[in-house]
Amino acid sequence: MRYGLNLPNGAVDPATLAEFAFLAEQAGWDGVFLEDYIVWQGDQEVETLDPWIALAAMATRTQRVRLGTLVTPLARRRPWKVARETVTLDRLSGGRVILGVGVGDTVSSDVSFTLFGEELDLRKRAAMLDEALEVLVGLWSGETYSHDGDHYHVGGVKLLPGPYQKPRIPIWVGGGYPLAGPTRRAASWDGSCLYRHGSHYLTPDDVRDLGAYVRKVRGTLDGYDIVVGGT
């Protein structure tokens, strides 16, 4: 079992986040992660940081802890930009990045989707997430990659360098458990950072049932991470 901290990317300055990461590593924590909001939880009065730049500062102050986002709503990000950001951080940190992804909060929880004219329909966002993940992995490959989908087009591009980690950066998937879409998506990637739909934290029974589902889908839990939140 490993332990990590999930910190806000709002209401704090980047130097303080870097110091938090340093102190967490010294105290024996295994990972330090940031939320990914454009406007932190939709509150325009809260000073909000770019998580990737803040994580780069955290990487320079640490040597061991894993670093990443929990979670990046990938439908609101250009996957090729995320490819560059994650690879740069993975190289800077010596292969310590984990990318957490999800569809993003509902409009009632994060009004910035409305403020910036972004996709509001969660089903469409889910389709964009799945396609963006396909694009992201293709761009991480270091090979010439093409894609022509419903939401994204890549016209024969090779992005170098590739990630420090091989074969690629691990991907954790967030969303509401036991909803079918997020649960199925999480089992398809490298880890689950699902929350209990309607009540937030997974229960011990949830973790057991989720593990059984992932084992059924994948044939094994080896190399798979199940993240459980708590306070």
All structural domains of the chain with their residue ranges? 4-169
pLDDT tens for each residue of 4-20 = 999 999 989 999 999 99
Q: What pLDDT score does 161 carry? A: 98
Bridge-based pairing of strands 176-177 and 195-196 is: parallel
The topology under which CATH files domain 4-169 is TIM Barrel (3.20.20)
Interval 51-58 mean pLDDT = 98
Determine the Cα–Cα distance for residues 84 and 208; give it in Å rounded to an integer.
36
Determine the Cα–Cα distance for residues 180 and 202; give it in Å rounded to an integer.
15
Determine the Cα–Cα distance for residues 225 and 76; give it in Å rounded to an integer.
25
Q: What pLDDT score does 192 carry? A: 98
Confidence (pTM): 0.96
Chain-centroid distance, C-alpha 15: 22
Six-digit token string for 126? 């889910």
Confidence check: pLDDT of 110 > 80 = no
